[in-house]
Amino acid sequence: MKKLLTLAFLVVLTALIVSCATPTPTPVPPTQAPEPTKAPVQPTAAPQPTKAPEPTKAPEPTKTTAPAEPIKIGFFSPLTGPTAADGQSALNAAKLAVKLINDAGGINGRKLELINYDDAGKTDQAASVARKLIESDKVVAAISGAYSGPTRAAAPVFQQAGVVMLSAYAIHPDITKTGDKIFRIGTLATIQGRVGAELVAKNLKAKKVAILTIDNDFGVSLTAGFKEQAAKLGLEIVFEQKYPFGEKDFRPIIEKMKPLNPDAVYATGYFAEAAQLVAQAKDAGFKAQIVGQEGYDSPQFIKLAGANAEGVIITTDLNRDSKEPMTQKFLTEYKKAYNEDADMVGASAFDAVQVLAYALKQGTTTEAIQKAILGLKDFKDCATGPFLYYDASRELVRPVSSQIVKNGKFTFYAEFTDPKLIAP
Per-residue pLDDT of the chain (424 residues; tens, 9 = 90+): 344 334 334 333 434 333 334 444 444 344 444 444 444 444 444 445 455 555 555 555 555 556 789 999 999 999 999 999 999 999 999 999 999 999 999 999 999 999 999 999 999 999 999 999 999 999 999 999 999 999 999 999 999 999 999 999 999 999 999 999 999 999 999 999 999 999 999 999 999 999 999 999 999 999 999 999 999 999 999 999 999 999 999 999 999 999 999 999 999 999 999 999 999 999 999 999 999 999 999 999 999 999 999 999 999 999 999 999 999 999 999 999 999 999 999 999 999 999 999 999 999 999 999 999 999 999 999 999 999 999 999 999 999 999 999 999 999 999 999 999 999 9
Query: Does 237 fall in a domain?
Result: yes
304 with 411, same domain?
A: yes
pLDDT score recorded for residue 65: 59
Query: Does 146 fall in a domain?
Result: yes
- Residue 398, judged by CB atoms within 10 A of its CB (0-12, 13-18, 19+), counts as buried
Contact 223, 268 (CB under 8 A): yes
Query: Does 49 fall in a domain?
Result: no
Helices 344-360, 366-374: inter-axial angle, 10-degree rounding: 120
143 with 175, same domain?
A: yes
Query: Does 66 fall in a domain?
Result: no
Contact 414, 402 (CB under 8 A): yes
Query: Does 253 fall in a domain?
Result: yes
Count CB atoms within 10 A of the CB of residue 302. 21
pLDDT score recorded for residue 68: 86
The rounded distance, in Å, linking the Cα atoms of 325 and 186 is: 20
The rounded distance, in Å, linking the Cα atoms of 161 and 149 is: 20
Which CATH number fits the domain that encloses residue 173?
3.40.50.2300
Give residue 418's domain range: 190-316+407-422
213 with 310, same domain?
A: yes
Query: Does 39 fall in a domain?
Result: no
146 with 85, same domain?
A: yes
236 with 332, same domain?
A: no
Domain count, the chain: 2
The torsion of the CA quartet 309, 311, 312, 313, rounded to 10 degrees, works out to 150
Query: Does 396 fall in a domain?
Result: no
Contact 186, 294 (CB under 8 A): yes
The rounded distance, in Å, linking the Cα atoms of 106 and 216 is: 39
- Residue 312, judged by CB atoms within 10 A of its CB (0-12, 13-18, 19+), counts as buried
pLDDT score recorded for residue 26: 41
412 with 337, same domain?
A: no
Contact 318, 400 (CB under 8 A): no
Contact 368, 141 (CB under 8 A): no
The rounded distance, in Å, linking the Cα atoms of 151 and 125 is: 11
- Residue 269, judged by CB atoms within 10 A of its CB (0-12, 13-18, 19+), counts as buried
235 with 272, same domain?
A: yes
Contact 360, 149 (CB under 8 A): no
257 with 386, same domain?
A: no
Residue type at 382 in one-letter notation:
C
Query: Does 183 fall in a domain?
Result: yes
121 with 208, same domain?
A: no
Angle 25-30-31 from CA coordinates, rounded to 5°: 120
127 with 257, same domain?
A: no
Residues 6+ apart with CB under 8 A from 296: 269, 270, 271, 274, 312, 314, 316
Residue type at 157 in one-letter notation:
V
119 with 102, same domain?
A: yes
151 with 219, same domain?
A: no
Pairing of strands 396-397, 400-406: unpaired
Give 73's strand partners. 114, 141
